[in-house]
Amino acid sequence: MTDQSAIPPLRVGLTAPRVPPPNILVIFGATGDLTRRKLVPALFDLFCENRLPAQFCVVGFARREQSDDAFRADLRASVQQFARAKPDSASDRWEKFAQMICYHQAEFDSADGYARLAQRLNELDAARGTQGNRLFYLATAPEYYALIAERLGAANLAELGGAWERLIVEKPFGSDLTSACELNRQLRAVFDEAQIYRIDHYLGKETVQNIFAFRFANTILEPLWNRNYVDHAQITAAETVGVENRGGYYDGAGALRDMVQSHLLQLVALTAMEAPVSFDATAVHDEKVKVLRAICPLCDHDVDDVVARGQYAAGQGMIAYRDEPRVAKDSNTETYVVLKLVIENWRWAGVPFYLRTGKRLPKRATQIRIQFKPVPHPLFSRDVVSGIEPNVIALRIQPDEGIYWEFAAKRPGQAIQLSNVRMDFGYATSFGAAPGEAYETLLLDAMRGDSTLFNRNDAVEVAWSLVTPILERWAQLPPPEFPNYAAGAWGPVAADRMIARDGRVWQAP
């Protein structure tokens, strides 16, 4: 029996999550990095926590020739390295999990390969009791998304019958507005919109989901969360790493496509959205799309006033971006971007949202920082309030997940002297553990048929409509003077100049 006194108080009484219905998960690109580092470790952690259905199976679909046993052995090594739970020899949980895994070899364009897949899935349904429910995960290069969907349709694997079929599509979802619209058209020629789950792993983070609870479960915030009290918002997604082994992909994408179009605009939408009429997928998606549609098009401004970009040089023992593997020596791909967004609606009119993201920055951190306006009439002398900053609420998405509030308080002593102080909530200290991996949440939600934390087609297209004009404008300009910030610095000076023009400064997360 569990000792209740040893459980952190905020974890007492937590209900067990609902287990999804029986199903088969087919992972296309099963020998790739995403499967190895994220998907299978997440599935193993879910298995160890008894959150997967007993009638469950994973089918890895890839082009490499190998046996089921060889595939399982490769995955065991990945789980050992990347999962929270470990396949230790003292327990047989890996052996039980491995029995749920099998491998299917075929080319992505092979009609025979999909016919054999259909037959194998039927056999697994009969043997494992998975009831005909199938979840297809596209963990491949983006150029295969439409092809795989078309082949699934041709093999009658996308049909809605008594069971369900769903398709998870990884980012990047297109490379501009035109390609995103075309990919939406191709997928929806085979699958209904309700069957398509466009994944953004940021939305699966516990701290991102907590934005809903923080905003809409606390009465004290609603009167303050608007243009009357908020001066501006800063959203930072900083990485200390470079492109690692993603040079081939990243050099054709850049920070604007890789981070802003998906992750950062999603954080803007969650921060600025109105309360949905209910917490279901349609209502939440509707409110998020309203925010994105209300963002003033960046092409309506002088680009230099609202967007700046950068690329890291060598520094602090780290090589320059142009010296990274699989990156062109004369590359003009941005590794840093900063934007100023204006949301033209009644709640946020006149409140700028500053977004920045980059690689090789001094600190790994993703944070939403809401800075409030200064007090309307200072009661204290200039000496008393020297160094006092306006109130701030900050949501730490990663790492050190939590929320803090900065406000002014009197220092101890006879004299009146104020200091900035902080009230801080941390997930790890309050709940006794850091939040789980985002992919665990998203995989379970897709199995349950809950698309709330996935992207709808119109949200993807509106996001691209904001970003594409900037990409087109950059293509018309002379090559930028790259590199323009040293590895380990907080980006190019143009980013500081942009926010300084508005009389504000960046705050380190």
Which residues are tagged catalytic?
Answer: 263
Round to whole Å and give the CA distance between 321 and 313. Answer: 6
Phi, psi of 151, rounded to the nearest 5 degrees: -70, -35
Neighbouring residues of 277: CB distance < 8 A, sequence distance ≥ 6? 283
- Token code pair at residue 246: 């993603």
Round to whole Å and give the CA distance between 480 and 474. Answer: 9
- Token code pair at residue 381: 């002398």
| Closest to 181 measured CA to CA, from 146, 215, 225, 211 | 146
E-state strands within 427-490: 485-486
Round to whole Å and give the CA distance between 175 and 404. Answer: 36
Round to whole Å and give the CA distance between 210 and 204. Answer: 10
266 contacts 292 by C-beta, under 8 angstroms: no
- Residue in the structure block whose two tokens are 């997360």: 509
- Token code pair at residue 357: 């993201």
What DSSP element (H or E) covers 469? helix 457-476
Half-sphere exposure of 326 (CA within 13 A, CB side): 11
Round to whole Å and give the CA distance between 447 and 135. Answer: 7
Round to whole Å and give the CA distance between 367 and 362. Answer: 14
- The three state secondary structure string of 103-169 is EEECCCCCHHHHHHHHHHHHHHHHHHCCCCCEEEEECCCHHHHHHHHHHHHHCCCCCCCCCCEEEEE
- Residue in the structure block whose two tokens are 């605009």: 265
- Token code pair at residue 44: 């193993």
Q: How far apart are the first and last CA of the chain?
A: 42
Q: What does the angle CA 209 – CA 214 – CA 220 come to, to the nearest 5 degrees? A: 165
Round to whole Å and give the CA distance between 220 and 423. Answer: 15
